[in-house]
Structure 1
Amino acid sequence: MEELFTQWLQEYGYIILFIWSTLEGELGLIMAGIMCHTGHMTISIAIIVAGLGGFVGDQVYFYIGRYNKQFIYKKLKTQRRKFALAHLLLQRYGWPIIFAQRYLYGMRTVIPMSIGVTRYSAKTFAFINLISALVWAAITILLAYFFGEQLLQIVHYAKEHYYIAIPFALILGGGIYYYMHKATAKAEQKMTGK
């Protein structure tokens, strides 16, 4: 199975990278950086493909917000707190939040949709989003490229000792969930004034 997956990455790597970047894909970018390190991908093409994928994904989320407001309000009730936080961040920080939203765990899809719901300029959003996506792709892929040998060693070690990662993953996941829950609750509280 692993050999088949590696073969697919070598044959269809750029297509997989584009799709993965469209859907959210730091892990895909790290894999692309490692493949650039091993010589299976060209670094400049990987950065452009990943950047365009990230750009397209966020544009789709923006236009879902722009043209499907009722659907969003109805179907995404459970994300209410994240939407409140996204609106608060946009009001407080303006365009830099569009640039930084890729690095906010759990908010990458919510922020473009919530900006789409507002009257924010679609052209301005697209321009900032494109620059942000290319920078995001370049930083992640270059880091993975430069630390490719170390990452390959970690992957090899993790394959042999996978059971060690379980407690760390649980602690990390729990911490991220707790932090996001507190932050969104605080934002919702500020928005409602309660």
Structure 2
Amino acid sequence: MEDLIRDGGYFAYVILFLYSFGGGFVGLVIAGVLSYAGDLNIFVSMLVAGVSNFIGDQFLFYMARTNKNYAKDIMKKYGRKVALAHLWMRRYGSPVVFLQKYVYGIKTLIPLAMGLTKYSFRKFTIYNIFATALWSMVVGYISYRLGEVVLTYADDYKYYGVAIILAIVLTITYYLKKI
């Protein structure tokens, strides 16, 4: 992967952009660690991930606003998560735009759910700008600062790390399917 990034140059940012359109948390973490290693620029990585994440959320909101039937069909599969999204929207109001950036499983549902309501597109855009900027700076900075730790232990514990990550992903997937 490192060779691909070194040799590919800007191709790594294209991958980060495409990945961040739908979420981007893991992509930004990897970009932060690679930035610490000197393979990427952390500021460009945060900018690319942030812009893509912002555009993705705006797209979902707009799609739900202009094509309600299609958005409702998408959301039918996620009954409990949609109910949770609506509960959070009622309980927290507009700040849920900030919260959804960090919670796996509802990241795409909040913009869709908000697009189905009479929530102001302008208000969503303003909150989304600030939420995305904060998200990209927090996740990018923390992953950059933890880059030394990750790189120090990466070679020594790479097989354990893969097993732990696989176990975490399988556990989360199992848990989310039960919800």
Scaled by the length of structure 1, what TM-score is found? 0.80
Q: 1:148 to 1:10 in 2, by over 3 A?
A: farther
74-83 vs 58-67, which deviates more? 74-83
Contact 1:65 1:116 in 2 (8 A): yes
Q: How far off is 1:125 after superposition? A: 0.3
Q: How does 1:136-151 map to 2 (within 5 A)?
A: 136-151=135-150
CA distance in 2, matches of 1:126, 1:64: 14
Aligned residues: 178
Aligned to 1:129: 128
TM-score, normalised to structure 2, is 0.86
Task: Tell me the SS of whatever aligns to 1:46.
Answer: helix
Q: Could you tell me whether the CA contact under 8 Å between 1:50 and 1:134 is conserved in 2?
A: no
Aligned to 1:80: 79
Aligned to 1:21: 20
Larger Rg: 1
Q: Which residue of 1 aligns with 2:97?
A: 98
Contact in 1 for aligned 2:33/2:144 (Cα 8 Å): yes
State the alpha-carbon separation in 2 of the partners of residues 103 and 163 from structure 1: 23
- Structure 1 residue runs of 5 or longer lacking an equivalent are 182-194
Change in 2 beyond 3 A, CA 1:67/1:148: same
Q: Structure 1 residues 11, 171: closer, same or farther in 2, change over 3 A?
A: same
Name the CA shift for 1:81/1:9 in 2 (closer, same or farther; >3 Å). farther
1:46-79 deviations in whole A, cap 9, x for unaligned? 2222111110111111111111111122343211
Contact 1:9–1:16 (Cα < 8 Å) also in 2:
no
CA–CA separation in structure 2 for the residues paired with 1:168 and 1:75: 26
2:11 aligned partner: 12
Deviation (angstroms), 1:4: 5.3
Question: Which has more helix, going by share of residues?
Answer: 1
Calculate the aligned-residue CA RMSD, in Å: 2.3
Note the residue ranges of structure 2 that are not aligned, 5 or more in a row: none
Partner of 2:170: 170
